[in-house]
Amino acid sequence: MTSVFKIFKEQFLHLPLILRLAIYDIKGSYQMHYLGILWQFINPLIQVCVYWFVFGVGLRQVGTVGDTPFIVFLLLGLVPWFFIAPTIIQGSNSVYSKVNLVSKMKFPVSVLPSITILGNMFNFFLMLGILGVVLFFYEINPGIYILQLPYYIASLFIFLFAFTLLSSTISAIIRDYQLMLQSVVRMLFFLTPIFWSIKSFPETVQSIIKLNPLAYIVSGFRDTFLAQGWFFEDWQYMLYFWSLTFLVLVIGSMLHENFKDKFVDYL
Alpha-carbon distance of 62 to 11, in angstroms, equals 45
- Least Cα distance to 216 among 132, 150, 148, 156 occurs for 156
Q: pLDDT per residue over 161-212, tens digit each?
A: 999 999 988 988 887 888 899 999 999 988 888 888 888 888 888 889 889 9
Q: pLDDT tens digits, the chain, 267 residues: what are they?
A: 777 888 888 888 888 888 888 888 777 777 677 776 677 777 777 877 787 777 766 666 656 777 788 888 888 988 999 999 999 998 888 888 776 666 666 778 888 888 889 888 888 888 888 888 888 888 888 889 999 999 999 999 999 999 999 998 898 888 788 889 999 999 998 888 888 888 888 888 888 988 999 999 999 999 999 888 888 888 999 999 999 999 999 999 998 888 777 776 666
- Whether the pTM exceeds 0.75: the reply is yes
3-state helix, strand, coil in the chain (%, to 5): 80, 0, 20
Those residues with Cβ within 8 angstroms of residue 153's Cβ, 6 or more apart along the chain or in another chain: none
Alpha-carbon distance of 117 to 229, in angstroms, equals 28
Q: pLDDT per residue over 213-223, tens digit each?
A: 999 999 999 99
DSSP per-residue codes, 96-157: HHTHHHHHHS---TTHHHHHHHHHHHHHHHHHHHHHHHHHHHTT---GGGGGGHHHHHHHHH
pLDDT, position 59: 64
Q: Contact at 8 Å (CB) between 265 and 14?
A: no
Q: Contact at 8 Å (CB) between 255 and 109?
A: no
Q: Where are the domains of the chain?
A: 1-265
